[in-house]
Structure formats: C-alpha cells, structure tokens
Amino acid sequence: MTFQTVWFLLIAVLWIGYFVLEGFDFGVGMLLPTVSKNEADRRAVLTTLGPVWDGNEVWLLVAGGATFAAFPEWYATLFSGFYLPLFLILVALIVRGVAFEYRSKYGKAQWRQRWDIAIVISSALPALLWGVAFANIVRGVPLEKASSGSIEYVGGFFNLLNPYALLGGVVTLSVFYTHGAVFLALKTAGTIRERANSIALKAGLVAAVAAVAFLVWTNLMLAEVNSTVLILSVTVALLWVAGLAMNLKGREGWAFIFSAGTIATFVSTLFFALYPRVMPSSLGSQFDLTITNASSTDYTLKVMTVVAVVMTPLVLLYQGWTYWVFRKRVSASQIVNPERGILDELSHTLHL
C-alpha cells in the first residue's frame, strides 16, 4: 500500500470520526426545542453535549489539517472552489460554539430564546451543507487545468445545488437528526428520553428513504459496477434498519452503536466510490484530482504517518475515557435552578 493510499484512508477515518461525533451534536442542536418542554429540559439536553462537543469538532480541524498536509492540491482546490458553502459552515460553527457556551450564563428568557434559535439554525445548516458538499465531490464538479498549471474549480455556487447534491444534503440532515435523537435517548432520562425515542423512529424512517434513494443513485452514477460500493451501500441500509429495530425494542445502547455504524459505513461508501480519485472532474478524467497528483511527497507523508500512528490511538483512548466519565444519563431534575444563570444577581448555590 502506498503512503497516498494510507493517507486517503486516514482522512476517511477522520471524516468518519467527525460525522459520527459531531453528527449527533448537530442532531441534538436541531432537536433542542422539540424534545424539551421547559427550561430544565433544555438545560439537560445541552448538558449531554457540554463536555464533548468541542472535542468532537476537533475531528473536523484535524481532517482539514491532514488534507492540507497530505493532499495540498485537494485542500486548495476544494476550499477555494466550495467557497460559499464552507463560509456558511464556518459562520454556523462560530455561532453554534458561542451559543453553547454563553446561552445558559444568563437567565433572561429573551437571551436564551435567541441563542436557542441560533443553536437550531447553526446545527441544521452544516448538517445539510456537509451532505451537499460531499455529494458534489462524489458526483464530480467542473475542474479544469488553469493557466498556472494547477487544477481549479471553474463552476459557480449554483453548480453545487444540483438535485443529487441536494438529496445528499437531505440525507445528512435527516440522518444526523435521527442520530441526535438516538444519542439523546441514550443519554437522558425521563420525558426527554421518551420523546427522543419516538422521534428517532419517525425521523429514522424518513432518513431511510432519503439514504436508500441517494445510495441507489450513487451506484447508478458510477461508470461501472463497483462491488465494494455496492456491498457497503447494502450494509448501510442493513445497519440503519438494525438501529431502528433496536430503538423500537428500547435497546438504546445498541441503537446508538448501529446508527454510528451506519454513518461510518455511509462515509466509507463515499470514499470508496471516489478512490483513487479525491475530486473527480465533470469536464473529463484528465482533470481529476487523484491521490497521486494531489499528494504531498513521500517524505511528508511518512513523517505524518509516524505522528498519526502514535497519536491517534492515544486520542481515541482519552476521548473515549471522557465519554466513560460522563456516561451517566442526565435528567432535568438534576439541573439546579434551571432558570438562573451564573451571571444573574443572587445566583447562590450555582456553580461554574
């Protein structure tokens, strides 16, 4: 296996980590008003994300950094080409992070309502746009050799809004929404848990329809039958159905494992559909960006492989441990004085 292939796989792993983890963050954010009846519920819902959301988002930063280091041409063409969607994602991630951190600091109802709206929108937007972006990458976008010799994106913003890509967006949106509900069902107690469980089933059925349609389309779109992609696509569907079945039986831990597995397999499907290309061109395969023509030197890849091999297990270990530390379910009754924030006057008995 060449170093290029190793890094293609590692970047796929990073995106899997990102979508599995921040996928449920997005879902929980979107579900915030739906699963909560009162302020204590909302605080409990947000507390399930509190200790982990930032660490989950780091997977994106590492995926971006790794792409820059291992496939600079891919990083450059993709980020400058998908300019506006990435910009919208950035704005959403900025608003979202600040909203999580600041929302409950004050007790004022208006302050909290505004941040709640911000959380819903800034969770839904990236959940949709990541699907649109990845579907476009798989479908192929107009790439051409520029006068400088590099392969550049020559389409506009509206090129990215084709039906296949939009369907991809609906898939990630609905899958993350369901994944969030499954996560909440696992991590909360009482009425939030009940609501999350029933939402997971309904949303899961919608997501199933969208995902199956998208995967069929993906397989038909490929120039020839790719058996790996086909097998992975079927696996996605089976895992999802298994997850919904577990949800129905009230086995929340298994439901989460299956929905995480579905997302991981779904991302793998897209990466296998691409390989060995990283960004196919719709204007002819001579303009494709591949793991060969987009990559860094073997020396750089070797250095980065050493770092990744040493660090990734360590990161998985301590991040996994965090989930273990905060494994207990959160219930609304555990939230002390939910209406108050630590920056309100006389906020006695409240803590950091």
Partner 1 sequence: MPHVFSTCGAEHARRIGIELVEQLRNGESDLMNSLDLARWQFAITTVYHFIFVPITIGLGFMVAGLQTAWYRNGNLKYLRATKFFGKLFLINFAIGVVTGIVQEFQFGMNWSSYSRFVGDIFGAPLAMEGLLAFFLESTFLGLWIFGWDRLPKKLHLASIWLASFGTLLSAYFILAANAWMQHPVGYILNETKGRAELTNIVKVLTQNTALATFTHTIAFAAFTSAAFMAGISALLIVRRKDIEMSRVTLKLGLIVTIISFVGVGVTGDINARIMTEQQPMKMAAAEALYSTTDSAPFSLLTVGSLDGSRSVFQIGLPSMLSFMSTGDFNGVVEGVNDLQAQYETQYGPGDYTPNIPLAYWSFRLMIGFGALGLLFALIALWQMRKGGLPSGRWFKPAMLSLPFLPLLANSFGWIFTETARQPWAVFGLIRTSDGVSQVVSAGAVLFTMIVFTILYGALAVIEFGLIRRVIHLGPLDEVDYADPQLGGSDSKQLVASY
* Beta bridge partners of residue 330, listed in sequence order: 188
Q: What six digits make up the tokens of 148?
A: 């400088």
65 in contact with partner 1 (CB under 8 A): yes
Strand partners, 151: 145
Extract the tokens encoding 278: 């990283």
Nearer to partner 1 by Cβ, of 144 and 254: the residue is 144
Kindly state whether residue 257 participates in binding partner 1, applying the rule CB under 8 A: no
| Residue 2, φ and ψ in degrees, nearest 5 | -75, 160
- Residue 227 CB, shortest distance to partner 1, in Å, is 33
**Tokens read off for 289:** 């960006």
Give the pairing type, strands 277-279 and 289-290. antiparallel
Q: Interface with partner 1 by CB under 8 A: which range of 128-136, 215-223, 260-268, 326-334?
A: 326-334
- In whole angstroms, the minimum distance from the beta carbon of 50 to partner 1 comes to 4
Positions 70 through 109 that interact with partner 1 (CB under 8 A)? 70-73, 75-81, 83-84, 86-87, 90-91, 93-95, 97-98, 100-106
Cα–chain-centroid distance for residue 91? 16
Taking the C-alpha atoms of residue 45 and residue 48, their distance in angstroms, rounded to an integer, is 6
Tell which one of 37, 38, 51, 109 touches partner 1 (CB under 8 A): 51
As measured in angstroms, the least distance from the Cβ of 157 to partner 1 is 9
Q: Is the CB of 49 or the CB of 200 nearer to partner 1? A: 49
DSSP 163-215: HHHHHHHHHHHHHHHHHHHHHHHHHB-THHHHHHHHHHHHHHHHHHHHHHHHH
CA distance 305 to 133: 27
Please identify, among the stretches 161-169, 182-190, 200-208, 296-304, the one whose residues bind partner 1 according to the rule CB under 8 A.
296-304
The verdict on 33 binding partner 1 (CB under 8 A) reads no
Query: Among residues 5, 33, 64, 283, which is the contact residue for partner 1, using CB under 8 A?
Result: 64
With CB under 8 A as the rule, give the number of residues binding partner 1. Answer: 87
The rounded Cα 349 to chain-centroid distance in angstroms is: 37
Task: Compute the least distance from the CB of residue 279 to partner 1, in Å.
Answer: 13
* DSSP per residue, 123-171: HHHHHHHHHHHHHHHHH-B-EEE-TTSSEEE---SGGG--HHHHHHHHH
Per CB under 8 A, 36 contacts partner 1: no
Asked if 214 touches partner 1 (CB under 8 A), the answer is: no
Establish if 299 lies at the interface with partner 1 (CB under 8 A).
Answer: yes
By CB under 8 A, name the one of 132, 290, 330, 340 that touches partner 1: 330
Q: Is 326 in the site for partner 1 (CB under 8 A)?
A: yes
If binding is defined by CB under 8 A, does position 313 make contact with partner 1? no
Name which of 80 and 285 has its Cβ closer to partner 1. Answer: 80
In angstroms, what is the minimal distance from the CB of 184 to partner 1?
Answer: 14
Q: Is 55 in the site for partner 1 (CB under 8 A)?
A: yes
Verify binding: residue 315, partner 1, rule CB under 8 A.
Answer: yes
Residues within window 187-206 making contact with partner 1, judged by CB under 8 A = none
**Span interacting with partner 1, options 168-176, 232-240, 277-285, 333-341, rule CB under 8 A:** 333-341
Helix, strand, coil % over all residues of the chain, rounded to 5: 75, 5, 20
Any contact of residue 6 with partner 1 (CB under 8 A)? no
Among 16, 21, 49, 264, binds partner 1 (CB under 8 A): 49
Which SS3 state, helix, strand or coil, does residue 279 take? strand
Supply 337's token pair: 């004085």
Tokens standing for 191?
């009425």
> Please, which residue, 100 or 240, has the CB nearer to partner 1?
100
CA 143 to CA 292: how far, in whole Å?
16
For partner 1, the binding residues in 152-171 under the rule CB under 8 A are 152-154
Other Cβ atoms less than 10 A from the Cβ of 117: the count is 13
Whole-angstrom distance, CA of residue 126 vs CA of residue 231: 28
- Residue 127 binding partner 1, by CB under 8 A: no
